[in-house]
């Protein structure tokens, strides 16, 4: 069944013409939840009202279609490469024959008395839709389910919108063309805005309507659900702005701003802690006061349960982080003229059985880690990869006796000891943990396109020169001086020194040691962990302790020469 059926039309067969209520259930891979949903509609108190049951499937990969047919439902399969709830509901109500459409999600169970009370409330000719209370069927599953259960708690009376479970007049749906099929989320509030613009009103009655199974047993599912809500807020707010409707305008802007603030909060707190601890304490107190205020304002949702009120307050603010990135994802999709596909967040039943239950401190650690992932991403991209590198380059330039060309890339802190007589060429790549030490008249000369890997240690009492294109592996040591032996103090016995010259395109493997007076000829290779005590000719390959020339074919097959381990000395 395609979602492109004509709006407002229904089959005119005699047996369906007398239907009062058409129950339209939508689902995708709901499994046992769908069976419970369909059974609950059959067990409801219809009090003589004729009804029919329609199930619209959005490409399930389980046996939902077969089970729904066995449960007595008319099954429609949504024939669409990009299914969504709006398309499923449109397919269902356009096929229905009832004067009223009862929409249900496949993960809900209908309360037996809701239909009777809803039909009584919708007798008001101004009311086009009636909904009641949706609550979680198993809030004890996890703290995530407990707090999300409170999201369903709304004040009763006339409201601006309804959710996925609702009794609606069929002619009201037809008058506005049904749900907007281009919306992947937030389709109900958008429909409600068009209904209200047509003069209709929406009633939220104080009666149980459905029990719901969120199936959120992991933080990943929680984050994806909040991310999806961010997409819905952004898209619906834009639609409402064009219609001149205030729905979700303020909420979308507020969530976006709060998301930015909460993303920056750890960075601000860390900076304050480092620079002004009292300011950090004030920020922590302000955050606690904000949580207390939210818990107080939401206390009516969980009266007499202070712990749950505080947990819900944390949820209210924590969800704004993934919601922010949902809004950003939607804006990016708008700029690129692309479509965001169906966002599924539920944990599969099998996965939930296999997943280890996380409780107590372990759950808190897991939750905080996941919540801080967006912060870590922003920190890496904006702070580490930009400002921290700039700061490291500034520190290096300040410490050396010379200039540092801007083409040099300094990935992290470099230690400079002694006189600072260090010169750099251009386009060097310098990893964190490099140590450069010059004593007396000694100097270090680094050419163009040189790579100094993490932990490289260079000491110069006379001169250490690295030619253009030289690559020095991690934790390599180049020292042009040795302590003199003495019967007294070795420390104060002085040094013997001779320059080290490293030619162009030399490759020094990880952990190698190059001692005083050594010249490494152009293009030579020094194996990992080698100890070089004598000069090496151009293009030669040396390895071992002390290093000796080896033939390249003696290296292990497929292994880079600079990773050849040091060989034991020959005897």
Kindly list the domain boundaries of the chain, sorted by start residue: 14-214, 260-374, 400-482+494-549
Terminal Cα-to-Cα distance of the chain (whole angstroms): 84
Peptide bond before 546: cis, by omega within 30 degrees of 0? yes
Mean pLDDT, all residues of the chain = 85
Region 400-482+494-549: CATH code: 2.160.10.10
pLDDT band of 228, cuts 50, 70, 90 = confident
pLDDT score of 215: 73
CB under 8 Å to 312, separation ≥6 — which residues? 147, 150, 294, 295, 298, 301, 302
**Burial 175-188, CB ≥16 within 10 A → b, else e:** bbebbbbebbbbbb
Tokens 């860390």 -> residue: 270
Highest mean pLDDT range out of 241-250, 359-368, 434-443?
434-443
* Helix, strand, coil distribution of the chain in percent, nearest 5: 40, 20, 40
Confidence of residue 12 (pLDDT cuts 50, 70, 90): very low
In this structure, of 147-156, 377-386, 487-496, 557-566, the range with the lowest mean pLDDT score is 557-566
Q: What's the pTM?
A: 0.58
- Smallest CA-to-CA distance from 533 within 498, 489, 486 is with 498
pLDDT of residue 353: 38
| CA geometry: angle 91, 96, 101, nearest 5 deg | 95
pLDDT at 330: 83
Question: How far, in Å, CA of 448 to CA of 426, rounded?
Answer: 5
pLDDT band at 11 (very low <50, low <70, confident <90, very high): very low
DSSP letter at 449 equals T
What does the pLDDT average to over 303-322?
A: 91
Q: How far apart are CA 421 and CA 399, in angstroms?
A: 9
Give yes or no for residue 560 having a pLDDT over 70.
Answer: no
Lowest mean pLDDT among 16-30, 86-100, 102-116, 402-416: 16-30
Q: Say what angle helices 320-336 and 219-243 make with each other, to 10 degrees.
A: 60
CA distance 47 to 45: 6
Q: What is the pLDDT of residue 363?
A: 55
Which percentage of the chain shows pLDDT scores above 70? 88
Helix (H) or strand (E) holding 520: strand 519-520
- Asked whether the predicted pLDDT for residue 538 surpasses 70, the reply is yes
- Evaluate if residue 448 carries a pLDDT over 50: yes
Q: Tell me, which fold does domain 14-214 have in CATH?
A: Spore Coat Polysaccharide Biosynthesis Protein SpsA; Chain A (3.90.550)
pLDDT, residue 75, reads 93
Q: Buried b / exposed e across 101-116, counting CB within 10 Å, b at 16+?
A: bbbbbbbbbbbeebbe
Residue 564 is given by DSSP the state P
Q: What is the mean pLDDT of residues 77-94?
A: 89
Residue 55's DSSP bridge partners are 25, 75
The answer on pLDDT for 371 being more than 50 is: yes
**Dihedral of CA 363/310/373/273: which sign?**
negative
Q: Write out the two tokens for 116.
A: 């009777």
Residue 384: pLDDT band (50, 70, 90) is confident
Task: Give the pLDDT score at 566.
Answer: 46
């Amino acid at each position: 069944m395609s979602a492109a059926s004509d709006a407002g039309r229904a089959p005119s067969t005699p047996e369906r013409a007398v239907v009062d209520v058409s129950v339209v259930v939508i689902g995708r891979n709901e499994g046992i939840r769908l069976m419970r949903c369909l059974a609950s509609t059959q067990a409801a108190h219809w009090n003589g009202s004729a009804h029919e049951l329609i199930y619209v499937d959005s490409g399930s990969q389980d046996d939902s279609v077969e089970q729904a047919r066995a449960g007595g439902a008319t099954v429609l399969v949504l024939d669409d490469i990009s299914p969504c709830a709006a398309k499923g509901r449109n397919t269902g109500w356009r096929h229905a024959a009832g004067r009223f459409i009862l929409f249900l999600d496949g993960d809900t169970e209908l309360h037996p008395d809701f239909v009777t009370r809803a039909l009584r409330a919708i007798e008001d000719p101004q009311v086009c839709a009636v909904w009641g209370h949706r609550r979680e069927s198993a809030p004890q599953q996890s703290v995530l389910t407990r707090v999300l259960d409170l999201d369903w708690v709304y004040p009763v009376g006339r409201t601006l919108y309804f959710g996925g479970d609702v009794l609606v007049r069929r002619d009201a749906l037809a008058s506005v063309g049904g749900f907007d099929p281009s919306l992947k989320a937030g389709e109900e509030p958008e429909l409600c805005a068009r209904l209200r613009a047509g003069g209709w009103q929406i009633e939220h009655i104080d009666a149980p309507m459905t029990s719901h199974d969120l199936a959120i047993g992991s933080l990943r599912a929680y984050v994806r659900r909040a991310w999806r809500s961010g997409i819905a807020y952004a898209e619906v707010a834009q639609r409402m702005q064009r219609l001149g409707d205030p729905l979700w305008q303020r909420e979308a802007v507020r969530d976006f701003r709060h998301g930015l603030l909460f993303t920056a909060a750890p960075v601000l707190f860390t900076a304050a802690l480092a620079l002004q601890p009292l300011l950090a304490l004030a920020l922590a107190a302000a955050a606690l006061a904000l949580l207390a205020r939210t818990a107080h304002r939401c206390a009516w949702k969980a009266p007499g349960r202070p712990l749950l009120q505080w947990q819900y307050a944390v949820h209210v603010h924590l969800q704004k982080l993934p919601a922010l990135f949902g809004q950003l994802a939607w804006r990016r999709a708008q700029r690129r003229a692309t479509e965001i596909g169906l966002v599924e967040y539920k944990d599969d039943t099998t996965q939930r059985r296999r997943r280890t239950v996380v409780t107590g401190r372990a759950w808190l650690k897991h939750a905080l880690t996941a919540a801080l992932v967006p912060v870590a991403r922003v920190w890496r991209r904006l702070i580490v990869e930009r400002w921290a590198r700039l700061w490291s380059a500034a520190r290096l330039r300040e410490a050396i006796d010379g200039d540092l060309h801007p083409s040099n890339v300094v990935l992290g802190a470099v230690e400079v000891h002694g006189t600072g007589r260090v010169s750099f060429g251009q386009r060097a790549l310098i990893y964190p943990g490099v140590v450069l030490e010059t004593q007396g008249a000694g100097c270090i000369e680094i050419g163009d396109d040189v790579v100094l890997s993490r932990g490289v240690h260079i000491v110069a009492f006379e001169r250490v020169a690295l030619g253009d294109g030289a690559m020095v592996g991690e934790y390599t040591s180049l020292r042009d001086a040795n302590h003199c032996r003495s019967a007294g103090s070795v420390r104060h016995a002085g040094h013997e020194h001779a320059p080290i010259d490293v030619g162009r395109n030399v490759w020094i493997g990880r952990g190698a040691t190059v001692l005083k007076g050594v010249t490494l000829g152009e293009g030579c290779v020094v194996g990992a962990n080698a100890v070089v005590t004598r000069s090496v000719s151009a293009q030669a390959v040396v390895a071992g302790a002390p290093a000796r020339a080896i033939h390249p074919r003696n290296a292990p097959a497929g292994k880079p020469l600079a990773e050849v381990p040091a060989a034991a000395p020959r005897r």
